[in-house]
Amino acid sequence: MPRYHVKITGKDYDAMADLVRKYQVNVARHTVEKLDGGYRVDAHADGRKLRTLEAAGYKIERYEDVDKEGKKRQKEVRKVTKKAVTAEALAVATSAHYLNVVEVEKALATVADPPNGAFTKLIKLPNKTWENRVCNALKIGKGTGSNRPAIYFLGGVHAREWGSPDILIDFAQRLTNAYRTNSGITIGSNNFTAAQIKKIVETKDTYVFPQANPDGRNFSMTTDAMWRKNRRPAPAGHPQASCVGVDINRNYDFLWNYPTYFNASSPIANSTNPCDYQTYIGPKAVSEPETKNAVWLFDQFSNIRYFIDVHSYSEDILYSWGDDENQATNPSMNFQNGAFNGKRGIAGDTAYKEYLTTADKNTAVNLANKMQAAIKNVRGRVYKVEQAMSLYPTAGTSDDYAFSRHLTNSQKAKIYSYTIEWGSPSNPTPFHPAYPEMQKIIQEITSALVGFCIAAT
Ligand SMILES: [Zn+2]
């Protein structure tokens, strides 16, 4: 059954909410456009579902067959082999194709090689994946000190979003090359000076965990290009292919058991069904080795003050919160207050909104604006800076978990947290665009991350 990249138009809020709560359509949550006669959203669905939606009154604009196009993208990725890859082949800025899962780890290790040894360190994550892969993160930073803030970049959580590891490897390669050679970084009309680069490396720690879900990414690159989850074996008695895996970015300990916390009619983009192709939350919070690894870095490095999870797509920079709209007037209306259970997750109502102080919102937006400006300087694309909550709320995501840590435990530091959704909905196969387009996106997001490291203090 072929699957298509589509735009779906519905007549009102309920029609759009039903796409998720009734039809389980995979919508790009932040592409909702308000039209004269309703709303339109970018999405993916198979032919049968599209016919059902058309019969129910939705208007469908159909683009590429994502499986057919995905096969083409898969052919462009080098096969995983035992053969050694040269350092030049691992340089993302001059590469002609996505790094495969082995190449990402190799490229990360190469960044930590002796020429950069004085200011980098490879960090082996403690939990092997379901398919026994070992993941590594990289620390970039020279010097120590108690007032040294750390910044944490995560990527490769969703299997099909192939470009995020490439982005983070490119960032690490450019930052370390520039520091080692006492030079600046120029991308488009961004000119980050040698002095700015030196300040990042010598006064801050940067942690880069580029490929959190290598099992899923490998499966997407070789078998099912649209795969999103990890590769946890399917529960007994569920032989279907879709029953494998957990959505890592629904598995964090933030309102994880969402049916307790959310309004039953909320169009939340989460599922308790192990056979849900997209957003199964897992058997318990932080059940997955990939989630545990991502959390381990927060626990291990208590000076982390900033966090960015790199995803695709829709050209957005998202700040807290994702479970409901923000409010700054009632501190007791918050995710920890059981009195609001069953009320969360409806856009546009007043029964529940998540608490975020005006000061925190301003800090979050100001830093997001720096990233937006750096992205625009590459080729003029303007990413939207907006709250993670859209018409469609979420629970169990990394960004809300990261920002909630200081609220659930006052011993922990406040971590300003973001999700970047790179890439335009108008790209064919937007989760893994053809590499010439991906190269432009890599330049944009690397610029955003360098700009962020300069601005975050
Ligand atoms: Zn994602």
What is the whole-number distance in angstroms between the Cα of residue 115 and the centre of ligand 1? 34
What is the whole-number distance in angstroms between the Cα of residue 165 and the centre of ligand 1? 12
What is the whole-number distance in angstroms between the Cα of residue 430 and the centre of ligand 1? 12
What is the whole-number distance in angstroms between the Cα of residue 157 and the centre of ligand 1? 7
What is the whole-number distance in angstroms between the Cα of residue 246 and the centre of ligand 1? 13
Between CA 278 and CA 250 the distance in angstroms is: 10
Whether residues 53 and 129 fall in one domain: no
What is the whole-number distance in angstroms between the Cα of residue 161 and the centre of ligand 1? 6
Beta bridge mates, 44: 5, 26
What is the whole-number distance in angstroms between the Cα of residue 255 and the centre of ligand 1? 19
What is the whole-number distance in angstroms between the Cα of residue 332 and the centre of ligand 1? 31
Between CA 201 and CA 211 the distance in angstroms is: 22
Whether residues 106 and 19 fall in one domain: no
For every residue of 262-326, DSSP letters joined together read B-TT---S-B--TT-TTTB--SSTT-SHHHHHHHHHHHH-TTEEEEEEEEESSSEEEES-SSS-E
pLDDT score, position 89:
86
- 255, 399 Cβ separation under 8 angstroms: no
What is the whole-number distance in angstroms between the Cα of residue 309 and the centre of ligand 1? 9
What is the whole-number distance in angstroms between the Cα of residue 391 and the centre of ligand 1? 17
Whether residues 254 and 118 fall in one domain: yes
What is the whole-number distance in angstroms between the Cα of residue 160 and the centre of ligand 1? 8
Whether residues 102 and 54 fall in one domain: no
Whether residues 55 and 107 fall in one domain: no
What is the whole-number distance in angstroms between the Cα of residue 281 and the centre of ligand 1? 14
What is the whole-number distance in angstroms between the Cα of residue 151 and the centre of ligand 1? 20
What is the whole-number distance in angstroms between the Cα of residue 421 and the centre of ligand 1? 7
Q: How many domains does the chain have?
A: 2
What is the whole-number distance in angstroms between the Cα of residue 121 and the centre of ligand 1? 27
- CATH number of the structural domain spanning residue 28: 3.30.70
What is the whole-number distance in angstroms between the Cα of residue 311 and the centre of ligand 1? 4
Within a 10 A sphere around the Cβ of 180, how many other Cβ atoms?
15
Between CA 159 and CA 162 the distance in angstroms is: 7
Whether residues 54 and 148 fall in one domain: no
Residue 86, CA distances (Å) to 12, 89, 136, 372, 399 in order: 54, 5, 20, 34, 35
Amino acid at 246: V
Q: Which two tokens stand for residue 30?
A: 């932040």
> Dihedral of the CA atoms 137, 141, 145, 151 (nearest 10)?
-60
pLDDT score, position 307:
98
Choose among 42, 157, 93, 30: nearest CA to 421: 30
What is the whole-number distance in angstroms between the Cα of residue 339 and the centre of ligand 1? 31
pLDDT score, position 292:
98
> Dihedral of the CA atoms 47, 235, 231, 7 (nearest 10)?
20
Whether residues 120 and 230 fall in one domain: yes
What is the whole-number distance in angstroms between the Cα of residue 25 and the centre of ligand 1? 15
Residues 6+ apart with CB under 8 A from 439: 93, 95
pLDDT score, position 337:
98
What is the whole-number distance in angstroms between the Cα of residue 423 and the centre of ligand 1? 12
Whether residues 318 and 236 fall in one domain: yes
What is the whole-number distance in angstroms between the Cα of residue 240 and the centre of ligand 1? 23
- 10, 267 Cβ separation under 8 angstroms: no
Structural domain boundaries, residue 40: 3-74
What is the whole-number distance in angstroms between the Cα of residue 42 and the centre of ligand 1? 14
Domain end, chosen from 74, 97, 115, is at: 74
Between CA 309 and CA 167 the distance in angstroms is: 12
Residues 6+ apart with CB under 8 A from 120: 111, 112, 138, 139, 140, 176
Between CA 121 and CA 87 the distance in angstroms is: 18
What is the whole-number distance in angstroms between the Cα of residue 438 and the centre of ligand 1? 16
Residues 6+ apart with CB under 8 A from 68: 2
Whether residues 67 and 207 fall in one domain: no
What is the whole-number distance in angstroms between the Cα of residue 331 and the centre of ligand 1? 30
pLDDT score, position 316:
97
- 109, 123 Cβ separation under 8 angstroms: no
What is the whole-number distance in angstroms between the Cα of residue 118 and the centre of ligand 1? 34
What is the whole-number distance in angstroms between the Cα of residue 420 and the centre of ligand 1? 9
What is the whole-number distance in angstroms between the Cα of residue 43 and the centre of ligand 1? 13
Per-residue DSSP letter, 114: G
Residue 187, CA distances (Å) to 370, 379, 434 in order: 15, 10, 20
Residues 6+ apart with CB under 8 A from 126: 292, 293, 296
Domain end, chosen from 47, 74, 101, is at: 74
The angle at the Cα of 298, spanning 293 to 299, to the nearest 5 degrees, equals 90
Low pLDDT (below 70) residues in the chain? none
Amino acid at 331: P
What is the whole-number distance in angstroms between the Cα of residue 355 and the centre of ligand 1? 25
Whether residues 93 and 47 fall in one domain: no
Domain end, chosen from 49, 74, 99, is at: 74
- DSSP run (H or E) holding 386: strand 384-387
What is the whole-number distance in angstroms between the Cα of residue 162 and the centre of ligand 1? 10
The angle at the Cα of 31, spanning 18 to 172, to the nearest 5 degrees, equals 130
- CATH number of the structural domain spanning residue 217: 3.40.630.10
Whether residues 20 and 142 fall in one domain: no
Whether residues 240 and 327 fall in one domain: yes
Alpha-helical segments (H) within 22-100: 47-55, 66-76
Residues 218-224: contacts with CB under 8 Å, at least 24 apart: 218/80, 218/100, 218/101, 218/131, 219/159, 220/159, 220/160, 220/162, 220/432, 221/74, 221/77, 221/98, 221/100, 221/101, 221/162, 222/74
